[in-house]
Amino acid sequence: MSYKTSPDAFIIGINPELTLYKRQELRTDKNDKTMKLLMLNLTLALGVAIYIYLPKQQVQQPEQTQKDPVCGMTVKKDAKFRSVYKEKEHLFCSKSCKEKFDGKPEKYIKK
């Protein structure tokens, strides 16, 4: 006849005087500590991953760039090609965009 050791024997040692309730309590305490450590480690790892891999929000200086109304390209304020329409200055990425705008400005101005 062979005897198998119960998992409780490793947690509490061999002590037959402990009741089933005490054995369960000891097992639960050990599992609770292990789960708390595991959750703490996972939380920290997730926080680090979010910090590293999420894109940083880029703050753009206001009024440093403007969108070309014809092609939608971003143009710097020192752009070479410019037009004024209804008292507002519009910047362009190229001569062809400026010429298209000058021909039909209403087509490219959002209302």
Each residue's pLDDT tens digit, 9-60: 444 455 555 555 555 555 666 677 788 888 888 898 888 888 887 776 665 5
pLDDT at 100: 92
Find out whether 92 and 77 touch, Cβ atoms under 8 Å: no
Parent domain of 33: 7-53
Beta bridge partners of 89: 84
Task: Give the angle subtended at the CA of 76 by the CAs of 107 and 63, to the nearest 5°.
Answer: 85
Q: Which regions of the chain does DSSP assign to beta strands (E)?
A: 65-67, 74-76, 81-85, 88-92
**SS3 label, residue 83:** strand
Do 46 and 72 sit in the same domain of this protein?
no
Do 44 and 15 sit in the same domain of this protein?
yes
In Å, how far from its chain's centre is CA 19? 51
Each residue's pLDDT tens digit, 76-101: 888 899 888 888 888 999 999 999 99
pTM here is: 0.43
Please indicate, yes or no, if residue 44 is contained in any of the structural domains. Answer: yes
Eight-state DSSP code of residue 29: H
> Using CA atoms, how far apart are residues 79 and 92, in angstroms rounded to an integer?
7
Do 104 and 69 sit in the same domain of this protein?
yes
pLDDT at 60: 53
